[in-house]
């Protein structure tokens, strides 16, 4: 269990005894933060065997249930209840990070399109996984419940068990009942010192009486932000991607020898083919390769029309008429292209965020499961000709601030010395930065402590909030 910064496992020293469990645990990366705040993991449930294998080696003292939450519910509840009986205390926190793909902007766009066309909405079954999760929560009655998902969860509706199409947040509040109070918060992780622009909806409910009193006194269940885009109001400025990644040896995606560090584990990147390397090489910071200008030394015209997105009946699409050849000299521009059936070059289909170089003075954009691909959303290194390495992604996701093992692990009955690069990339993109979950759990502990927050301190609320971190 994480106890202090000296062992590299956590930020805050905490006492033992508070229990937590997690549904849809993934590889347990977000759960590192709860452990760093002093909570003890007792049960973790994950359907994907490879993610569960990673979680097992990093939380060896927890029970791990691998399978569908719809089928594992009773077993999960029994494990938690047995541990509660041994420890002699209720479950302090349950984390529920249900799959978010069905709540993405693209998913909602498809739903909107179908409704406009008079078609029966096709509901993503992953969104409905919140229902069996709520069954588990109602039976366990944890003191705190934390739901983490994309911002779009606020506007996502599902079919409840009575066949009614209703907002997820309404179903959560109704199912938990009057014994719980809580709210949903839009959170920007960069505001918490994380070098990444990553927005999430953090929904927190509690039945703890002290915390309920504090909630009614308008205390937030989300910790006060420590950072701000411009460092205003006494906060620190956002941590830029360049600041976070300083010290990493330079890499270059042109050749295998230049694309890999011999001294820093996981610090390597895919080699780009010659044409993609040229697209990236000519891309300016904060710009997309689709906007690259003429490189013909006899022309160098910089006024070629740039790429863009258009809205077609509410559905965002990329422009199709962006020029691939210089309008002045006719030379091929270093812009992403594909081939037509007849073998002619055409501008590649893609949004302005594709083949885009990060801005050096800003946090990294949100790391997705595709961050190792130059064609992905805004993933080209701020000044080197490559994408981010796995080691850099671990730093931006704050995983490297904790002790986390990538192997050895058992997969499909076979021992692997470490997780594959592909699996590492996936679980990083799926996870919550543990630095935030640690700050959140530490804040919830304070909210539950009657010795910390009393009626006499309410008048000092603004100053108190700033000091919680």
195 and 244 Cβ atoms separated by less than 8 Å:
yes
- The pLDDT, as a whole number, for residue 125 is 60
pLDDT for 22-36, tens place per residue? 999 999 999 999 999
- The pLDDT, as a whole number, for residue 15 is 40
pLDDT for 362-412, tens place per residue? 999 999 999 999 888 889 999 999 999 999 999 999 999 999 999 999 988
- Assess whether pLDDT exceeds 90 at residue 199: yes
- The pLDDT, as a whole number, for residue 153 is 87
Helices within 199-328 (DSSP H only) = 209-216, 241-245, 274-281
pLDDT for 402-411, tens place per residue? 999 999 999 8
DSSP 138-151: HHH--SEEEEEE-G
Helices within 403-433 (DSSP H only) = 421-430
pLDDT, greater one: 429 or 353:
429
- Assess whether pLDDT exceeds 90 at residue 245: yes
- The pLDDT, as a whole number, for residue 463 is 37
**CB-based burial, 37-64: b 16+ in 10 Å, e otherwise:** bbbbbbbbbbbbebbbbbbbbbbeebbb
pLDDT, greater one: 317 or 200:
200
- Assess whether pLDDT exceeds 70 at residue 461: no
- The pLDDT, as a whole number, for residue 109 is 55
Q: How far apart are CA 418 and CA 413, in angstroms?
A: 14
- The pLDDT, as a whole number, for residue 465 is 40
- Assess whether pLDDT exceeds 70 at residue 280: yes
- The pLDDT, as a whole number, for residue 165 is 82
Q: How far apart are CA 145 and CA 22, in angstroms?
A: 10
Helices within 92-180 (DSSP H only) = 105-116, 130-140, 168-176
What does pTM read for this prediction? 0.87
- Residue 121: pLDDT band by 50, 70, 90 thresholds? low
Q: How far apart are CA 43 and CA 83, in angstroms?
A: 9
- The pLDDT, as a whole number, for residue 112 is 55
- Residue 350: pLDDT band by 50, 70, 90 thresholds? confident
83 and 18 Cβ atoms separated by less than 8 Å:
no
- The pLDDT, as a whole number, for residue 111 is 57
Is there a cis peptide before residue 344, judged by omega within 30 degrees of 0? no
Q: How far apart are CA 325 and CA 148, in angstroms?
A: 45
Q: Which residues sit opposite 268 in a β-bridge? A: 260
Low-confidence winner among 169-173, 424-428, 448-452, 456-460 (lowest mean pLDDT):
456-460
- The pLDDT, as a whole number, for residue 101 is 53
Measured in degrees and rounded to the nearest 5, phi and psi for residue 41 equal -75, 130
- The pLDDT, as a whole number, for residue 178 is 96
Fold category of 5-238+431-467 in CATH: Rossmann fold (3.40.50)
- Residue 468: pLDDT band by 50, 70, 90 thresholds? very low
Number of DSSP helices (H) and strands (E) in the chain, helices first: 13, 19
- Residue 460: pLDDT band by 50, 70, 90 thresholds? very low
pLDDT for 172-196, tens place per residue? 999 999 999 999 999 999 999 999 9
Mean pLDDT of the chain: 87
- Residue 164: pLDDT band by 50, 70, 90 thresholds? confident
Please state the rounded mean pLDDT for residues 118-145: 81
- The pLDDT, as a whole number, for residue 396 is 98
- Residue 297: pLDDT band by 50, 70, 90 thresholds? very high
């Amino acid at each position: 269990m994480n106890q202090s910064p000296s062992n590299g496992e956590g930020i805050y020293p905490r006492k033992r005894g508070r229990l937590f469990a997690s549904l849809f645990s993934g590889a347990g990366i977000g759960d590192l933060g709860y452990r760093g705040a002093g909570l003890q993991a007792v049960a973790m449930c994950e359907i994907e065997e490879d993610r569960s294998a990673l979680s097992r080696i990093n939380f060896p003292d927890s029970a791990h249930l691998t399978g569908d939450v719809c089928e594992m519910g009773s077993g999960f509840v029994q494990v938690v209840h047995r541990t509660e009986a041994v420890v002699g205390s209720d479950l302090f926190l349950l984390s529920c990070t249900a799959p978010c793909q069905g709540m993405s902007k693209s998913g909602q766009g498809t739903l909107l399109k179908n409704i406009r066309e008079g078609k029966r909405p096709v509901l993503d079954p992953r969104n409905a996984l919140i229902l069996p999760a709520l069954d588990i929560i109602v039976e366990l009655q944890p003191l705190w419940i934390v739901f983490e998902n994309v911002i779009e969860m606020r506007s996502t509706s599902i079919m409840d068990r009575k066949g009614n199409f209703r907002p997820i947040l309404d179903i959560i509040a109704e199912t938990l009942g009057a014994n719980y109070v809580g709210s949903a918060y839009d959170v920007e992780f960069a505001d918490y010192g994380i070098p990444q622009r990553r927005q999430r909806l953090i929904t927190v409910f509690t039945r703890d009486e002290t915390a309920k009193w504090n909630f009614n006194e308008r205390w937030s269940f989300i910790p006060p932000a420590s950072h701000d885009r411009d460092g205003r109001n006494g906060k620190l400025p956002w941590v830029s991607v360049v600041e976070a990644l300083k010290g990493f040896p330079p890499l270059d995606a042109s050749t295998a020898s230049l694309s890999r560090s011999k001294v820093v584990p996981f610090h390597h990147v895919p080699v780009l083919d010659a044409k993609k390397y040229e697209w990236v090489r000519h891309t300016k910071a904060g710009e997309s390769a689709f906007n690259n200008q003429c490189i013909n030394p006899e022309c160098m015209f910089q006024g070629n029309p740039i790429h863009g997105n258009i809205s077609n009946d509410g559905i965002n699409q990329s422009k199709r008429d962006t020029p691939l050849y210089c309008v002045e000299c006719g030379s091929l521009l270093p812009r992403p292209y594909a081939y037509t059936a007849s073998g002619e070059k055409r501008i590649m289909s893609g949004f302005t965020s594709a083949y885009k170089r990060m801005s050096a003075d800003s946090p990294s954009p949100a790391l997705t499961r595709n961050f190792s691909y130059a064609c992905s959303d805004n993933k080209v290194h701020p000044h080197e000709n490559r994408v981010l390495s796995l080691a850099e992604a671990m730093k931006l996701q704050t995983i490297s601030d904790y002790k986390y093992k990538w192997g050895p692990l058992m997969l499909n009955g076979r021992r692997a010395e470490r997780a594959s690069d592909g699996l590492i990339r996936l679980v990083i993109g799926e996870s919550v930065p543990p630095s935030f979950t640690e700050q959140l759990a530490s804040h919830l502990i304070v909210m539950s402590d009657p010795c910390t927050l009393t009626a006499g301190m309410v008048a000092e609320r603004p100053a108190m909030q700033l000091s919680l971190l």
